[in-house]
Structure 1
Amino acid sequence: MSKLPSHDDCNCFALRQAARYVTQIYERHLGEVGLTAAQFTIVAKLARRPGLTMMELAETMVMERTTLVRALKPLQRDGLVVSESSEHDGRTYQFSLSKAGKETFEQAAIAWRAAQDEFETKFGRSRAKALRAELFNLTAE
């Protein structure tokens, strides 16, 4: 009979536990601006690349479309993200930040920097950089 699995040997468990810990740091800071960590990543992506379609945004975020839709709804409801029909296909929508969204992103970027600094102070800047590189390699094409 094989050995029963232990959470100490589970990569998924270790990553999810670490993700929850890191998310708590970022959400404490971003909460001051009214964003969750997940919402911040969407707003930051749209600040850099306005006009992304749902499919493009989902692909760049490595998210399921249904999960992305749920995350976008409050951002749209609060007037931070706007959508408009694509010139090429009226059934395809492109997403961008509104003026309020851009202002919120500017404030959130300051909160994000504080969260980033807190994490890197606790974990070490060089270790954090190496960790990011390894994690991004997991999702690189």
Structure 2
Amino acid sequence: MDENASVPFATTLHVRDHCLCLHVQRAARALARRFDEALRPVGLTNGQFSLLMALNRPAPPSLRPVADLLAMDRTTLTAALKPLERRGLIGIVTDPADRRSKLLSLTPEGRALLAAAVPIWQSTHVAIEATLPGDAPETLRTTLRELA
């Protein structure tokens, strides 16, 4: 690698203005801050809300489908589960069908907290979508699904 090599500032500006990854990251951080603030009264972050919602299923899932849904690796998911487990919001048990696997479920406290958080999420979501023109929210969702 050439230590004297440099990238022109014009390239920096081009990347700043055109990089899809940068723009998606910035938007994601702004949305995350907005949902974090909205969910603060019930003691959740947007990530914790998404995780609790991912566990809101008829049957307890194992780590893999939850990690896949949230686009997390299993190690990151395991770390994110610990505070929720300490708070008594989720249960983690060994899968009787496969002792190497864990099953995740909402506790009654977790279900109650999620039920309290959903109206906050709904009103925040409606307010955010109202700032976008016409079909932009659905177009954005479709585009992001295609990228994921």
Normalising by structure 2, we get a TM-score of 0.86
Paired residues for 1:23-38 under 5 Å: 23-38=32-47
Gap runs ≥5 in structure 1: none
Tell me if 1:135 matches 2:144. Answer: yes
Match of 1:4 in 2: 11
Deviates more, 1:3-12 or 1:24-33: 3-12
Q: 1:51 to 1:71 in 2, by over 3 A?
A: same
Secondary structure (helix, strand or coil) at the match of 2:56 reads: helix
Match of 1:91 in 2: 100
Indicate which of 101, 110, 113 corresponds to 2:119. 110
CA distance in 2, matches of 1:121, 1:45: 25
Offset at residue 4 of structure 1 (A) = 2.3
CA distance in 2, matches of 1:8, 1:60: 30
Offset at residue 83 of structure 1 (A) = 1.0
Indicate which of 30, 35, 39 corresponds to 1:21. 30
Q: Which amino acid aligns with 1:123?
A: L
Gap runs ≥5 in structure 2: 1-6
Offset at residue 42 of structure 1 (A) = 0.9
Deviations 1:61-110 (A, max 9, x none): 21111211121111111010101111111221100000000000101101
Indicate which of 77, 84, 87 corresponds to 1:78. 87
CA RMSD of aligned residues (A): 1.7
CA distance in 2, matches of 1:135, 1:50: 28
- Would you say how many aligned residue pairs link Structure 1 and Structure 2? 139
Secondary structure (helix, strand or coil) at the match of 2:99 reads: coil
Q: Which amino acid aligns with 2:33?
A: Q
Secondary structure (helix, strand or coil) at the match of 1:90 reads: strand
Offset at residue 22 of structure 1 (A) = 1.1
By relative contact order (CA 8 Å, sep 6+), the higher-ranking structure is 1
- Name which one, 1 or 2, has greater alpha-carbon Rg: 2
Q: Is the 8 A contact 1:43 1:105 kept in 2?
A: yes
Deviations 1:7-49 (A, max 9, x none): 1121111111111111122111111111111111111111135
